[in-house]
């Protein structure tokens, strides 16, 4: 989704309660253990100005100049990371974000249609205040709308959950261990975190997923661990995310 860069602070329904592992995911992650698949969930960079604070969804949107800088900073931070593959949403903002990373690592992208952003239906292309005026609901509670079944004319929750599950299963089938980057969208990253960590989707409103950020989940046979949340190399002084 195309939304402000501090979604957790915007949520009107409060932060809720999250597992202890989430609160602990603030330091540099450990080296990847044998038998562990590390997933780098990367949100695309900042979008072009006319689409900021808009429910972009399936619209094919480009990046702002700041978004391009964020993409370059992400690539530099991950340059030394031995990536097994880079999976990318087919949407333009994700592909543009992935380009510097692919150039540095020499990978060809795995374009995955199931990584495309949520279809917001009748909300697509509307600004936040327009949603409030037309539908009488708070745009800040968009995750509640998704969890309740989806926006009018939009993608049902069951379909969303199915395609995110498919992505995770495909990645795990292709890579038993190592590091895989997935460059996609804020809505998809929240759905993935909810599934991997076993938390209700609306509670992910308490998590920051900024433009140009990377969140790291280690997957082992029986559990997933959130190692790093919302690392922003363009803002954070740490030189490397992994």
**Is pLDDT of 236 > 80?**
no
Do residues 217 and 227 make contact, with C-beta atoms less than 8 angstroms apart? yes
- Quick one: which of 146, 48, 44 has its CA closest to 89? 44
Do residues 67 and 42 make contact, with C-beta atoms less than 8 angstroms apart? no
Lowest-confidence range among 12-16, 128-132, 144-148, 161-165?
12-16
7-231: CATH architecture: 3-Layer(aba) Sandwich (3.40)
What digits encode the pLDDT tens for the residues 139-187?
988 999 999 988 999 999 999 999 999 999 999 999 999 999 999 999 9
- The domain ranges of the chain are 7-231
**Is pLDDT of 70 > 90?**
yes
**Is pLDDT of 1 > 80?**
no
What's the pTM value of the predicted model, to 2 decimals?
0.85
Mean pLDDT of 126-148: 92
Q: Please list, in sequence order, all residues whose beta carbon lies within 8 angstroms of the beta carbon of residue 148, skipping any fewer than 6 positions away.
A: 157
């Amino acid at each position: 989704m195309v939304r402000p860069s501090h979604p957790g602070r915007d949520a009107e329904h409060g932060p809720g309660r999250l597992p202890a592992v989430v609160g602990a995911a603030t330091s540099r992650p450990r080296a990847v253990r044998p038998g562990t698949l590390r997933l780098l969930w990367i949100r695309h960079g900042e979008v072009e100005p006319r689409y900021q604070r808009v429910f972009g969804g399936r619209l094919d949107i480009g990046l702002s100049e700041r978004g391009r800088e964020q993409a370059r900073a992400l690539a530099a931070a991950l340059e030394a990371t031995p990536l097994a593959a880079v999976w990318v949403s087919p949407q333009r903002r994700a592909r543009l974000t992935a380009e510097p990373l692919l150039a540095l690592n020499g990978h060809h992208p795995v374009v995955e249609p199931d990584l495309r952003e949520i279809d917001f239906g009748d909300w697509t292309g509307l600004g936040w205040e327009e949603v409030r005026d037309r539908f009488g609901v708070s745009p800040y509670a968009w995750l509640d709308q998704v969890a309740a079944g989806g926006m009018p004319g939009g993608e049902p929750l069951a379909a969303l959950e199915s395609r995110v599950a498919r992505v995770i299963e495909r990645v795990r089938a292709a890579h038993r261990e190592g590091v895989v980057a997935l460059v996609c969208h804020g809505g998809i990253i929240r759905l993935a975190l909810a599934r991997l960590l076993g938390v209700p989707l609306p509670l992910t409103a308490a998590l920051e997923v900024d433009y140009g950020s990377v969140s790291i989940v280690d997957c082992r046979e029986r559990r997933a661990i959130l190692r790093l949340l919302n690392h922003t190399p363009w803002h954070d002084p740490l030189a490397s995310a992994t």
